[in-house]
A and B are shown apart, each in its own frame.
Chain A
Amino acid sequence: MESSDNKKFSVAEDETGKGCTFAFTGEGHTIGNALRYLLIKNQDVEFCGYSVPHPAEPVMNIRLQTYKNPPLETLEASLNQLTSVCDLLLSKLDSKNI
């Protein structure tokens, strides 16, 4: 079973430093597709795609190539972006006071 403490994250970096493949253990389409969308909207991103190589394995990969900034920083920025969207929507929902 998937447990909260076996979440892992690893990076395979190209020699150029402009391309990275990130492997997320314990994540899937839920996060993958949303991050992919945010990343391809980023002007600095040359290429971004995600895949879940096998549905029985809890691994999701994101391939990211950038023009200028380090890919890891770009990824982190997209994580923050998605967090702020969630926070904003949650606060809007809470303010409805149901």
Chain B
Amino acid sequence: MSEVYRGRAPNIEINKITREKIKFTLSGVDSSVANSLRRVMIAEVPTMAIDVVHIHTNTSSLHDEFIAHRLGLIPLISENQDNYDFPRDCKCTGHCEHCAVQFRLKVKNQEGGVLDVTSRDLRHLSQQGNDVRPADSDGPILILKLRKNQEIDITCNARKGIGKEHAKWSPVATAVFKYTPDIYLNQQRLESQFTAEERKEIVNSCPVGVYKLNEESNIEVVKLNKCMFCEECMRKGEMIITRSASALLNVHDNVVRVSQLKDRFIFKVESSGALKPESIVSKAFTILTKKLDDIKQLIPPLINTR
């Protein structure tokens, strides 16, 4: 199995986890597999989101569809989404406690001034489903504003879905990967043929600060993973060689070379708040496996009928 990937076994290393972000390195796989993982995280990891909105009263300045759309985009904590069914898989005809969590939003501005209606005003209609609630621990999410005597009264259902159907169900804000940079510095030539000033020029040419000059004023790679393959450093190196006397030597032998390791991917995944970043990754693997199993289920009867 592992030998298909240039002799390296697939591996995953976690570089950094915070509450809303994860950075990890996936290695020993092809870019097509890394891309499958990325696509599944964006479009096929289910979350809960407000999907059906009944507007009883709306005298605010925003029209109904606009409010419904804003409600849909509020991230809801979906760690327990396994307890809910997709509406299409549920036996009920409308909604029930297995496929929906109901909220009520009923606010009237009686005091005058401008009243903010936020995600904190969403109330659960029943005790059940309290685990599904707006992910607003960083501060309330503004839905709309009311002037004096304006009123809003809405009931809405949060349902389970995937980002393929509507982006509001996507658990990620960002899910990207890039190849691992590989930087080669010909230190010997850098020291013998370059002045300290020229070395500093190379260091400063990098827009993201990959390099640093150390105490001996030699170039050192300090933030390798920041590299975005713009090749500015290579160009600067070439330029210095060309303009100096050493141009007569070997121009084409670069002193700085940036290349990509094509079987090591640096992933960066930011959660929308609906799921913990690490559970987005592990759920994506589970879903990928399930997709493959579904296909395998469909194959055996075909073999037998032939």
A7-B298, A30-B291, A85-B33 known; A38 and B4 CB under 8 Å? Answer: yes
Residue A83 contacts which of B14, B30, B44, B292 (CB distance < 8 angstroms)?
B292
Q: Is the CB of B1 within 8 A of A7?
A: no
B39 within 8 A of A: yes
A1 within 8 A of B: yes
Category for how many chain B residues contact A: 35 or more
Residue A34 contacts which of B12, B32, B88, B302 (CB distance < 8 angstroms)?
B32
Instruction: Looking at the assembled complex, report how far the CB atom of A34 sits from the nearest CB atom of chain B, in whole angstroms.
Output: 5
Q: Is the CB of B12 within 8 A of A76?
A: no
Kindly supply a per-residue 1/0 record for chain A positions 68-93, scoring 1 wherever the CB is within 8 Å of any chain B CB and 0 otherwise: 00001001100111111111111011
A9-B298, A85-B33, A86-B288 known; A92 and B11 CB under 8 Å? Answer: yes
Residue B32 contacts which of A1, A7, A33, A86 (CB distance < 8 angstroms)?
A33
Secondary structure class of chain B's binding surface, majority of residues:
helix
Category for how many chain A residues contact B: 35 or more
Instruction: Looking at the assembled complex, report how far the CB atom of B193 sits from the nearest CB atom of chain A, in whole angstroms.
Output: 43
A2–B17 alpha-carbon span in the complex (Å): 33
* Closest residue on chain A to residue B86 by CB atoms: A4
Instruction: Looking at the assembled complex, report how far the CB atom of B53 sits from the nearest CB atom of chain A, in whole angstroms.
Output: 18
7 closest A-B pairs by CB: A9-B298, A90-B285, A37-B32, A33-B32, A30-B39, A34-B32, A86-B289
